[in-house]
């Protein structure tokens, strides 16, 4: 019973088959290969548009930092939630890649930015006031770091507020598929149709070996050459990009990524229900995706530890459990037998 993280899960067999399938012959380097070209078509189908450019990375931190560096200058700021991954878990990579850009942290329940705080931050932007650092980008995360999902309407609302004052909008989609399944939105509705300029679409947590896609929409495509240059300068220009592209094609084909996210979400709901059935374990945040944040009762904590379950202590005495595409029904049944 390993609930440590979805990054601990193996790659889906379809991904490994796809890698083997492209592992033959010579192909041009750095994304000029036939496989990466085919990915453009798959992304166009999924996103319902051809008005985009994309770049492939092996890690979410690189994808976020590269994306943000194209929109935030060294003397600018990025508005984000105080619990956002770019603030808590990326060792100042966004600041490093932007050459000094500042993260301006905003509050809100469930790691979702509170609207009043966002409005206050936007109202306080004074580009001509030399003593302050004006915001240039709004960065949202879906799923959030608390496992909650912004609905498409809220993404669109916040993006509109940001664009009124000239901010670009970034969406960290490390668990994008989980958010889509939870809300019922389409990839297009949750991204460019909602006003997102740059999406970091994560497939690693969903079932890939290591594949993150930076996607520039509409007018943001003007940043594509800069994105490639920054990728090269920072060591994130994969020479054999076909192997990243093959992973993405395998995940997107027949909506496999959404099916896998649906399985992970379902297991999380089942497990959260089991944990809470004793009446003393409490959810800290709603379970919108594949992450469970709970204050465990003493009995449940003891039972999980006795069963050898792997999970992490979290903020304020709570614990986090994460499911994945390969969390089996047998785990749910075993857990049911362990708990009070």
Residues 6+ away with beta carbon under 8 Å from 216? 52, 53, 54, 197, 198, 223, 224, 227
Q: Nearest-CA neighbor of 196 among 152, 257, 149, 136?
A: 152
Q: How confident is the model at residue 315 (pLDDT cuts 50, 70, 90)?
A: confident
| Residue 340 pLDDT grade (very low, low, confident, very high; cuts 50, 70, 90) | low
In residues, how long is the chain?
340
pLDDT tens across 233-286, in order?
999 999 999 999 999 999 999 999 999 999 999 999 999 999 999 999 999 999
If you average pLDDT over residues 125-140, what whole number do you get? 96
Q: What is the pLDDT of residues 90-113, one digit of tens each?
A: 999 999 999 999 999 999 999 999
- The distance from CA 55 to its chain's CA centroid, rounded to whole angstroms, is 16
| Strand partners of residue 319 | 294, 313
118, 161 Cβ separation under 8 angstroms: yes
| Threshold 0.95, pTM exceeds | yes
CB contact at 8 A, 339 and 278: yes
Rounded to an integer, the average pLDDT of 313-340 is 94
**Do residues 82 and 245 touch, judged by C-beta distance below 8 A?**
no
Phi, psi for 293 (deg, rounded to 5): -115, 115
Whether 78 contacts 139, CB under 8 Å: yes
What does DSSP assign to residue 192?
G
Average pLDDT, stretch 182-207? Answer: 98
**H or E, element range at 198:** strand 198-202
Q: Are 169 and 197 in contact (CB under 8 A)?
A: yes
Taking residues 175-191, report their average pLDDT: 98
Copy the structure tokens of residue 130: 């030399």
């Amino acid at each position: 019973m390993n609930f440590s993280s979805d990054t601990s899960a193996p790659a889906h067999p379809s991904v490994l088959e796809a890698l083997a399938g492209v592992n033959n012959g010579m192909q041009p380097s750095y994304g000029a290969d036939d496989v990466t070209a085919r990915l453009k078509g798959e992304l166009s189908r999924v996103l319902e548009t051809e008005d985009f450019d994309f770049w492939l990375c092996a890690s979410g931190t690189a994808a976020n930092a590269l994306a943000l560096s194209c929109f935030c200058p060294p003397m600018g700021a990025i508005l984000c939630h105080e619990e956002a991954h770019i603030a808590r878990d990326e060792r100042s990579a966004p600041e490093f890649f932007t050459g000094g850009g500042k993260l301006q942290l905003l509050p809100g329940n469930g790691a979702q930015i509170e609207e009043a705080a966002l409005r206050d931050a936007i109202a306080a932007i004074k580009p001509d006031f030399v003593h302050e650092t004006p915001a240039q980008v709004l960065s949202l995360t879906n799923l959030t770091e608390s496992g909650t999902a912004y609905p498409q309407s809220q993404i669109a609302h916040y993006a509109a507020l940001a664009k009124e004052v000239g901010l670009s909008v970034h969406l960290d989609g490390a668990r994008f598929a989980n958010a889509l399944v939870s809300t019922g939105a389409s990839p297009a509705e949750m991204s460019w149709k909602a006003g997102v300029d740059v999406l970091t679409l994560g497939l690693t947590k969903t079932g890939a070996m290591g594949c993150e896609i930076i996607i520039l929409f509409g007018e943001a495509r003007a940043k594509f050459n800069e994105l490639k240059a920054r990728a090269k300068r920072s060591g994130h220009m994969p020479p054999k990009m076909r192997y990243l592209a093959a992973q993405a094609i395998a995940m997107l084909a027949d909506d496999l990524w959404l099916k896998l996210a649906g399985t992970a979400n379902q297991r999380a709901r089942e497990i959260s229900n089991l944990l809470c059935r004793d009446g003393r374990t409490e959810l800290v945040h709603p379970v919108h995706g594949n992450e469970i944040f709970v204050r465990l009762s003493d009995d449940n904590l003891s039972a999980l530890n006795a069963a050898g379950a792997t999970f992490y202590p979290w903020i304020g005495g709570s614990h986090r459990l994460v499911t994945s595409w390969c969390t089996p029904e047998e785990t749910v049944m075993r857990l049911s037998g362990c708990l009070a």
